Amino acid sequence: MSRNIAAGLMAVCGLAAATPLMAATVRAVVFLASPTGPGGPAGRVVFRDRPGGARISIHLYGLPPGQHGFHVHQNPSCAVGPVNGAPAAAGAAGGHYDPMATGKHMGPAGKGHLGDLPYLTVDANGSDHETLVAPRLSDVNRLRGHSVVIHAGGDNYADQPKPLGGGGARIACGVIG
């Protein structure tokens, strides 16, 4: 009898989890990336499932003003690791999250890496508080076990003239959980 009640409760909770009010949320605590490993705190980002694509709430600080490439990367690590064969800050995060193996960087509205997000715009004080939309990202729970990376430069959403949007070095990183 009590087993039946427990099973019934689980069924109710399962239904509740499928409603918009209980939509999934995942987040990453972000740290500056350095050649010796993760450094000081730089804020957090939160991904929420919404109709029309995930909403990404950005709460960052201590970053250089201007535009910065911002992506989901493959691995849940912000340690030093190889980038183009040489040890680099946050290199252990690996390449852009690309579950369909497109091999292409095409930005948030393109058909390349699923991890290609809208670029960040950091204000003159080094802070960024904005909400971005990632139209192709649904089911944000799938982002657990990956990471977010912020690059030194902006992002032209293409592999030309420079690969991966041209953002270059990794300046901050957080594991998504």
- Give dist(CA 39, CA 32) in Å, integer: 5
CB of 163 to Cu ion, least distance (A): 10
Our CB check for Cu ion shows the closer of 8 and 35 to be 35
- Give dist(CA 63, CA 38) in Å, integer: 14
CB of 170 to Cu ion, least distance (A): 7
Q: Which two tokens stand for residue 63?
A: 């970053």
Residue 149 binding Cu ion, by CB under 5 A: yes
Our CB check for Cu ion shows the closer of 60 and 149 to be 149
Our CB check for Cu ion shows the closer of 23 and 76 to be 76
Our CB check for Cu ion shows the closer of 27 and 71 to be 71
CB 149 within 8 A of CB 164: no
Q: How far apart are the first and last CA of the chain?
A: 37
CB of 141 to Cu ion, least distance (A): 21
83: number of CA atoms within 13 Å, CB side? 19
Applying CB under 5 A, the span of 6-14, 37-45, 130-138, 141-149 interacting with Cu ion comes to: 141-149
Residue 113 binding Cu ion, by CB under 5 A: no
Residue showing the smallest CB distance to Cu ion in the complex: 71
Residues numbered 62-81 forming contacts with Cu ion, rule: CB under 5 A: 71
CB of 116 to Cu ion, least distance (A): 8
Q: Mapped to the 3 state alphabet, what secondary structure does 13-78 carry?
A: HHHHHCCHHHCCEEEEEEEEEECCEEEEEEEEEEEECCCCCEEEEEEECCCCCEEECEEEECCCCC
Residue 175 binding Cu ion, by CB under 5 A: no
CB of 73 to Cu ion, least distance (A): 6
Residue 124 phi/psi, 5-degree rounding, is -65, -20
Contacting positions for Cu ion (CB under 5 A): 71, 149
